[in-house]
């Protein structure tokens, strides 16, 4: 075969392969357009407000899951969402300190800044830019129907616009990094649905840019208040005895667990969410920290002949074994503010490099560029 014939033969093969690639791209684009989203590499995004030291409910329900996802090799981003925190009034000096405390706490709990992008939300201005653009796609009735707005607006005499629109900022947080998985509690699912709706609306109106963001529900039982087992453990609860903060001393933890609400039905330890919610809450907390099943814990406690008081003493030692090393590491990190600032600056740089690229495309599609 002559050189020219060989060249023409190879050219036909190349052209045919190129045609197949173009056809494949058209088919995949059609599939994406029908769904309303693009395909993106998997990325996990989550955020936490700097409104005080996290408690054990925050740790077992969120932070420990982030650490697990990080160690499984997921592409992780964790944001200290200080923009969200000012939906209620904050003292500026206290807020600055809480941001540092939250950074130290997350690192002490196992977040590795070499594996996870840990950053402060307000240092990446593209969050607010995208929030405004998404706000122009969202209707008032859509926000008014969100259960969190109905609940929170009743608690204050003059609810602010920020409290009304913060779910759009949440959507911007997620979409700015083209996140595909978002660890959330059941109370935040409606907000994630809003993020999906806004992503789809933008994609249809301006052009395909955002992927589908899906919720990632943890398998950890909800940790409830030590003083009111019908409510979840919360930083906003005015009674500090209702929660175990990760900064609590050993004596404070023993005192809080010792005074936790149980019942007068029996001195023995049994698990019954309906009849014995206080005891069940302590067992759920125990299970969440150790990885033991409820059945294993109950069997062990009964075999040891523990009553409610001796079980509370035992549980306090289990909690202290988990909390005190994190507490010590958090205090060590807080004594080195230069290191904390360096971690947050490094996270800011990494987050900004993604955010700038996303917003460049958004601005172009909208017509600003």
Catalytic residues: 152, 232, 235
Token readout for 179 is: 């996140």
State how far the Cα of 287 lies from the Cα of 291, in Å rounded to an integer.
5
Q: Tell me if 342 sits within 8 A of 310, measured CB to CB.
A: no
b/e code 139-155 from CB counts within 10 Å (16+ = b): eeeebeebeebeebeee
Q: Tell me if 102 sits within 8 A of 62, measured CB to CB.
A: no
β-strand 116-120 against 181-183: which pairing, if any?
A: unpaired
Token readout for 147 is: 């259960």
- Taking CA 120 as the corner, what is the angle to CA 118 and CA 123, rounded to the nearest 5 degrees? 130
Radius of gyration for the chain, computed over Cα atoms and rounded to the nearest angstrom: 25
Query: DSSP letter string over 51-118?
Result: SS--BHHHIIIIIHHHHHHHHTT--EEEEE-HHHHTTS---HHHHHHHHHHHHHHHHHTT--TTTEEE
Q: Tell me if 281 sits within 8 A of 229, measured CB to CB.
A: yes
- Residues ≥6 apart with Cβ < 8 Å to 98: 50, 51, 52, 85
Q: Which long-range contacts (CB under 8 A, 24 or more apart) does 12-19 make?
A: none
State how far the Cα of 239 lies from the Cα of 330, in Å rounded to an integer.
23
- Count Cβ atoms below 10 Å from residue 182 Cβ, excluding itself: 22
């Amino acid at each position: 075969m002559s050189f020219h014939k060989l060249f023409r033969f190879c050219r036909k093969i190349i052209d045919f392969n190129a045609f197949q690639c173009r056809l494949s791209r058209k088919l995949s684009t059609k599939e994406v357009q029908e769904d309303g989203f693009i395909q993106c590499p998997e990325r996990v995004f989550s955020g936490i407000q700097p409104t005080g030291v996290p408690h054990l409910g925050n740790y077992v329900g969120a932070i420990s899951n982030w650490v697990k996802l990080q160690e499984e090799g997921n592409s992780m981003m964790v944001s200290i969402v200080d923009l969200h925190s000012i939906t209620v009034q904050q003292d500026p000096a206290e807020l600055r300190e809480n941001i540092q405390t939250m950074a130290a706490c997350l690192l002490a709990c196992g977040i590795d800044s070499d594996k996870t992008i840990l950053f402060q939300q307000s240092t990446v201005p593209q969050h607010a830019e995208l929030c405004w653009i998404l706000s122009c796609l969202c209707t008032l009735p859509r926000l008014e129907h969100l259960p969190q707005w109905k609940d929170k607006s009743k608690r204050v005499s003059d609810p602010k616009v920020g409290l009304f629109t913060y779910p759009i900022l949440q959507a911007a947080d997620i979409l700015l990094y083209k996140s595909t998985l978002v660890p959330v509690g059941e109370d935040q699912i409606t907000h994630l649905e809003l993020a999906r709706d806004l992503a789809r609306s933008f994609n249809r109106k301006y052009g395909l840019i955002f992927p589908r963001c899906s919720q990632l529900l943890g398998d950890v039982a909800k940790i409830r208040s030590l003083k009111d087992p019908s409510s979840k453990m919360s930083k906003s609860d005015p009674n500090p005895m209702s929660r175990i903060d990760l900064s609590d001393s050993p004596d404070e933890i023993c005192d809080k667990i010792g005074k936790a609400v149980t019942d007068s039905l029996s001195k023995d330890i049994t698990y019954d969410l309906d009849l014995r919610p206080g005891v069940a809450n302590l067992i759920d907390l125990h299970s969440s920290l150790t990885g033991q099943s409820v059945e294993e814990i109950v069997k062990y406690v009964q075999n040891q002949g523990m009553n409610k008081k001796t079980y509370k003493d035992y549980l306090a030692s289990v909690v202290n074994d988990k909390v005190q090393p994190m507490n010590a590491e958090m205090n060590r990190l807080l004594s080195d503010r230069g290191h904390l600032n360096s971690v947050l600056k490094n996270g800011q740089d990494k987050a900004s490099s993604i955010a700038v690229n996303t917003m460049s495309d958004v601005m172009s599609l909208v017509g600003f560029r």
